[in-house]
Amino acid sequence: MTSGRKSPKISFMRDSIRYIWHVGVLALVVILGACAVPYVPTPAVVKADRQELMEVFSAGYRNITEKYIEDVSVETVALGGLGGFSSIDPALTVDNEAGQITLSYSGDFIKVIKAPAADNVIGWAALTSDMTIAAKDVSADMGGASKEKIFEAVFDGVLSGLDIFSRYAGAEEAKKNRARRDGFGGIGINFHVKNKQTLISKVLPGTPAYKAGLKKGDIITEIDGKTVAGFDNSDIILLLRGPTKTNIDIRIMRKPFSSPMTFSMTRTHIVPVTVTESRDHGILKFRISSFNQDTARALASKLAKAKSEMGKSLKGVVLDLRGNPGGLLKQSVKVADLLLTHGGIVSTKGRHLDSLHSYEAGGRDLADGLPVVVFIDGKSASAAEIVAAALQDRNRAVLIGTASYGKGTVQTVIRLPNDGEITLTWSRFLAPSGYPLHGLGVRPVICTSDQKTSPEYIDRTLSAGPELKATFESWRIPVLQPAEARNKLRKSCPAEKHDADTEMEVAKRILGDTTIYTKTLDLSTGTSQARK
């Protein structure tokens, strides 16, 4: 009876032969390496797609090594990228031994190339391209992968070794990212797909859809003659969006009418709405969901209009930044500047000269000195934290909520030749009082991390007095404190996600009583450095 297992003797012989073969190959590599000349990229005609690989890898490697917040060599970056091959096919491995870069497949040597100089961008980009082509020749998974999949694997391999905020987006994802930041050619509607029907959920004022007469509740049946029944959101977005000044026909069904209606319009530049407004007994509340290129302008416009309409009934302004993940740095600076007349807003420091900035307020306070309250929570990050920290440190607003996320780094966006993009950490930002927000965040003066009533929150805050001031002094130490110290400070007001009305109830009480507002504002007064 056989068990199906090979005899130990045969297995031993086979392994011995494999060992001897590998040792021989290694010896040959060492001998060749000893007399090898520095690696010179082979001509682009070796493979038709090599030139494109070279362009994308070299652009990525150059920008990462020049702009990343910490000094990192091209060699380190490229080796991280080559390690990304295994995300496509785990049998692919890349090793660096004695200056020889070796590609193996299931333990067998496939290609060996002498490593270029550590700072040779072109050399490492060429090496990565040649290793990519060699890997495609031996791996079915790699051979069947698109160029975009390979770019994603390589740059994910690079960026995952840097920090959690640096990332790569392929061409399609990058296009969506740019649309969120900068806008897109469209008609100005929000929609959702339900039961294979595309329902318009909102028509933005002043847009082509609004002017043409589309309405909330309309069911889109055709776009430019294409039936959309069964299409998903992505398919419909592709049909709706396009270059500005191009025409589009939308066919809809509208209750109670039984016949379809066709609307013709011309696409225009649409920027997603990030600022919404509500009014509550003399309090003007602005919900800012993120920061894109239109955020500051929209806030200024809405604030000016509301002031004109509300007149003396306007008691104060609330900026709701809860759940705001951030966005464009310069927009956060402009938003803070709308409520400040002078002094620092934020400063940024990185390794690249272009990352060094100090932003100052220089306009007029559009709220005309009215009391201001800012809501933050554990999901308020980046640009939202810049606004919150600036208004708090400049003694301009009372912050209510929980400790913010603590994303104290700035990312720059690098567009690559394949239309993908790298979002790369390149600087840290400091609050006006000089403290770095990285891993610490912003602390509200009125902490709502536990379940209390509005009066309890206020009474507890006012009674804290000297203890709370001491907490803010420790919070604002102008150096990056050890992680243990930062975590201890954050425990004084644990970060949580909030979307209830608790903060608004507290805000109403504060904005309705000048004495309480002044006292709470004083508790979080910044250092003398912040007030200069």
Q: Could you give the residue numbers annotated as active site?
A: 382, 393, 407
Phi/psi for 297 (5° steps) reads -60, -45
Phi/psi for 87 (5° steps) reads -70, -20
Cα distances (Å, whole numbers) of residue 526 to 104, 261, 493: 58, 60, 18
Three-state secondary-structure class, residue 80? helix
Tokens of 300: 């200024």
Spatial neighbors of 27 by CB under 8 A, at least 6 apart, are none
Cα distances (Å, whole numbers) of residue 451 to 121, 282, 376, 380, 511: 56, 26, 16, 20, 21
Residues 464 and 493: their CA atoms lie apart, in Å, by 13
Q: What is the 3-state secondary structure (H, E, C) of 290-318?
A: CECCCHHHHHHHHHHHHHHHHHHHCCEEE
Residues 47 and 330: their CA atoms lie apart, in Å, by 43
Cα distances (Å, whole numbers) of residue 515 to 195, 468, 511, 522: 55, 18, 9, 11
Residues 532 and 527: their CA atoms lie apart, in Å, by 9
> Side chain identity at 348, as an amino acid letter?
T
Closest CA to 363 of 335, 384, 325, 331: 335
